Structure 1
Amino acid sequence: PVSGIEDLKNVATIASGSIEMGRIIAQAADKVGDTGSTVVEESQTLIDEIEFTEGLTIDRGYISPYFVKDQERQVAELVNPKILVTDAKIDDVNDIVPLLEQLVKTKDPLLIIAEDVTGEALSALVVNKMRGVLDVVAIKAPGFGNRRREYTQDIAIATGASFVAEELGITLDSVTIDMLGTADRIVVGKEQTTIVTDGKQQEAIDARIAQLRREEETAETDYDADKCRERVASLGGGIARIKVGAATETELKDKKLRYEDALNSVQSARELGIVPGGGACLAHLQITLKEKIMDAMETEDERQGALIMIKAMAYPAMQVAENAGIEGAVVLAKIQNLCEEKGFGYGWDAGSMEYCDLMERGIIDPAKVTINAIENSASVAGLVLTTECLVTEIPIQMSEEDKQRMFDQQNMAAGMGPGIS
């Protein structure tokens, strides 16, 4: 398991390829804990900074992918948006037309949190989004049944929104802009929404948390108490905002992607723990689990398939060595000998060209990444076996004469004249 901020830093450093990025991500992840969120933003400066703000995370993403603006990251971002919070199911566009008309005039972005948004209402929102008439995103409210109502009320309090419910005498067609909540920024992904609050409702949030703690103390079942604790964590978890600075647009884009990749690695490490990196984990498992794996196979076909997988487990460690200009088979044999002599965790450090305790040196991988590598490779191999074909590009063999002709054409196009043979 991940034992502290140092493990988080090591995971993030390896994933991002930068010690400084690893430090910033570890600081952010350690500060907000398991209940908070970390978001990556662009900065107008040349340096990377980290800022902690209040906010909450909802385990629901956009209802339709057509709400996505950033196709590469597959997220929709709303800056200084208004927020509609309701327990109703919205399917009739006429219910929300009065509100949408007000927002078109003010040009405020809108996040809709509802039981669901379907039919004509969803179509109208998507069309207006794609035409640039209104910057809007819709998500489903978290939870189910009575729990959904409680969660949506928490969100309404945290954002300063009026909770729209018919039993409270508030219908959708009567909602005005003044009844909507506000936030500093919202990031909506496929499966998660992060709301960075603007700090205006902190007193109301603190009062709500105090109320939930009292409910936890008087809860009749452990389940109810757990749900109260979960809601407290959601309201008080906080948000870490990593502001990425760069000199050029290309550098900024690259750094943001590296930060996000490292954040995913840290999350994976928190879920299932860490293992030695550099392919050492699979190299160790190849020799320790071979007999157990083979004994579990019932047919000859299964045994042959298992042998293929067992053989493949050696290649990551060998490839790391080959990339560093060292004979892969030699490094693999040494790693496996060290594991047998000293135990799990020893391997080869390609940076210093040394054999060492990788866990102690901080050369680690999230266990989830290693598991996914095995599962995905087995899936692809199975697909190749069943389809019995592969698609590949055939390299073009060019003669020296053809190469010279292409070179001359490129020079002529650039206005440089033909090359000298």
Structure 2
Amino acid sequence: ADFLVGALGLNVESVSIEQLGFARKITITNKKNTIIADTATKDEIHARIAQIKSELAKIDSSYDKEKLSERITKLSGGATEAELEDRKLKIEDAKSATFAAIEEGIVLGGGAAYVHLSSYVPAIKESIDNPEERLGADILQKVLLAPAKLIANNAGIEGAIVLEKILSSTWEMGYNAMTDTHENLLNTGVMDAAKVARCALQNAASVAGTVLTTKSECQNPKSPMFLGSQAYFRKGMTICKHKDHHYEFSFIIIYVPDKSLT
């Protein structure tokens, strides 16, 4: 394909079939055009990249250098600025996870470690005399099953079946959602840093405890409006009293029941 530019006397009105090129896919939007070249034009693309690199070495303008570098990146299929930022964040996450694993070790990933730990909760509960703490142990046992169940549900698999398989297997076994298999997660590298798993559970318990122990009194509660078989709608204002202070809150809540939890 020829590069149509007015300085060379070429324009769209006078273009011929011989001057056109071809591509595997073209996507045109109001903000940008994306052209995916056919593999048959690979040699021509490399030749164009080499030409632009030659021009890049001859110019001094920082603006022109930036634009030519962007053109080389797009032609060579290189990473865009957004992709580079995403890659940078992934590397930082991997580095942090590695340091956390060095500090406290590793556990099974995919929520399998939590599932196996949940089987030890009943024995711990037997040593607790406080009825409220025993209730908290029951809640914790259910919470430990939630991550693995959610991962399975998101993968289109019945979470209850996955949980049953994990609980009936040895400690190193779990569910790999990427391959849809029940396997030895240590051998396949599906692992989490123990520190990350511990902190996630501790932080969740801390937030739940804060909500439960907040001494506030809400007045004028309003019943939700029924929107149909799937949702409830509630809108209004609530006055809450905390210690010697009163607060007014305006709110809109849409509640969709999760039948899988009933």
TM-score (normalised: structure 1):
0.33
Aligned to 1:355: 182
CA distance in 2, matches of 1:352, 1:381: 34
The within-5 A match list for 1:50-69 is none
1:371 alignment partner, one of 194, 198, 220: 198
1:284 lines up with 2:143 in the alignment: no
CA distance in 1, matches of 2:190, 2:132: 37
Runs of 4 or more, structure 1, over 4 Å off, are 44-47
Residues 293 and 393 from structure 1, CA distance in 2 versus in 1: closer, same or farther, beyond 3 angstroms?
Answer: farther
**What are structure 2's unaligned runs of at least 5 residues?**
1-68, 217-248, 256-262
TM-superposed CA distance for 1:395, in Å, is 4.9
- 1:301 maps to a residue whose letter is E
Aligned to 2:79: 247
For the aligned residues, what is the CA RMSD?
2.8
- 1:385 maps to a residue whose letter is L
CA distance in 1, matches of 2:184, 2:210: 37
TM-superposed CA distance for 1:259, in Å, is 0.9
**What are structure 1's unaligned runs of at least 5 residues?**
1-43, 48-245, 397-421
Residues 307 and 395 from structure 1, CA distance in 2 versus in 1: closer, same or farther, beyond 3 angstroms?
Answer: closer
Aligned to 1:324: 155
CA distance in 1, matches of 2:198, 2:106: 11
Residues 247 and 335 from structure 1, CA distance in 2 versus in 1: closer, same or farther, beyond 3 angstroms?
Answer: same
Aligned to 2:165: 334
Aligned to 1:394: 253
- 1:314 maps to a residue whose letter is L
2:135 alignment partner, one of 296, 304, 314: 304
The within-5 A match list for 1:408-419 is none
User: Deviation digits for residues 334-384 of structure 1, max 9, x if unmatched?
Assistant: 11111xxxx211011111111111111111111111111110110011011
TM-superposed CA distance for 1:296, in Å, is 3.5
CA distance in 2, matches of 1:366, 1:393: 39
User: Deviation digits for residues 117-166 of structure 1, max 9, x if unmatched?
Assistant: xxxxxxxxxxxxxxxxxxxxxxxxxxxxxxxxxxxxxxxxxxxxxxxxxx
1:263 lines up with 2:91 in the alignment: no
- 1:323 maps to a residue whose letter is N
Aligned to 1:186: none
CA distance in 2, matches of 1:373, 1:298: 27
User: Deviation digits for residues 38-63 of structure 1, max 9, x if unmatched?
Assistant: xxxxxx9999xxxxxxxxxxxxxxxx
Residues 309 and 249 from structure 1, CA distance in 2 versus in 1: closer, same or farther, beyond 3 angstroms?
Answer: same
- 1:358 maps to a residue whose letter is L
SS at match of 1:264: helix
CA distance in 2, matches of 1:383, 1:256: 35
Aligned to 1:382: 209
Residues 394 and 355 from structure 1, CA distance in 2 versus in 1: closer, same or farther, beyond 3 angstroms?
Answer: same
The within-5 A match list for 1:79-158 is none
TM-superposed CA distance for 1:291, in Å, is 2.7
- 2:100 maps to a residue whose letter is S
TM-superposed CA distance for 1:311, in Å, is 1.1
CA distance in 1, matches of 2:121, 2:79: 51
Question: Highest relative contact order (Cα 8 Å, sep 6+), 1 or 2?
Answer: 1
TM-superposed CA distance for 1:326, in Å, is 0.6
TM-score (normalised: structure 2):
0.52
CA distance in 1, matches of 2:215, 2:80: 46
